[in-house]
Amino acid sequence: MSSEAAPMSLRPSASAPVSQAASVTHMTEFVLPPHANSFGNVFGGQIMAWVDICAAICASRHSRLPCVTAFVDDLHFVAPVRAGEIVRLEARVSAAFRTSLEITVEVSGENPIEARRWVCTRATLTFVAVGADRQPTPVPPLLLDSPELVASQAAGEERRQQRKARSRSAK
């Protein structure tokens, strides 16, 4: 008999709610000169790429499936981050639907020398989980175990209706 414990499956059933904490994703990036524009500030597109990666990891952790970006809500760059500073990202599931998930990403800048942090941007993205057949596949609901999460799911449902209207008018 092997003394090694069998690996624990992380795959949830599509109907068992998953806590928000189970998929919270953090990333820390050091801003290097190739990430920066001629003003020495990190490119908006670089921030967007990091936001997309951080959110995709969070969506896959929740669903235990590959997830594709379906929609990115408005992105506002509140304050720049310069080369030599740090970009911190935190992604959370803010609402779960049938096969899609709303992920909110908060991005902040950090100057490690001055021990200073500031808000850089906040973004909301929708990801769709896809199965082996590459078709949208059901995701577990978000475990609504606090009034804040109940409010977050309700606000996500409202934003989802707005996205549907925007997607329809864009077709």
Ligand X SMILES: CC(C)(COP(=O)(O)OP(=O)(O)OC[C@H]1O[C@@H](n2cnc3c(N)ncnc32)[C@H](O)[C@@H]1OP(=O)(O)O)[C@@H](O)C(=O)NCCC(=O)NCCS
Residues that bind ligand X (CB under 6 A): 68-71, 97-100, 126, 128, 130, 136, 163, 167
The pair of structure tokens assigned to 114 is 């001055």
- Secondary structure class of 91 (helix, strand, coil): strand
Shorter beta-carbon distance to ligand X: residue 63 or 108: 63
Shorter beta-carbon distance to ligand X: residue 42 or 128: 128
What residues are paired with 167 via a beta bridge? none
CB of 26 to ligand X, least distance (A): 21
Q: How far apart are the first and last CA of the chain?
A: 60
Phi, psi of 133 (to 5 degrees): -85, 5
137 and 131 Cβ atoms separated by less than 8 Å: yes
Shorter beta-carbon distance to ligand X: residue 61 or 163: 163
CB of 97 to ligand X, least distance (A): 3
CB of 164 to ligand X, least distance (A): 7
CB of 145 to ligand X, least distance (A): 21
Count of CB atoms situated within 10 Å of the CB of 56 = 19
Shorter beta-carbon distance to ligand X: residue 41 or 126: 126
59 and 20 Cβ atoms separated by less than 8 Å: no
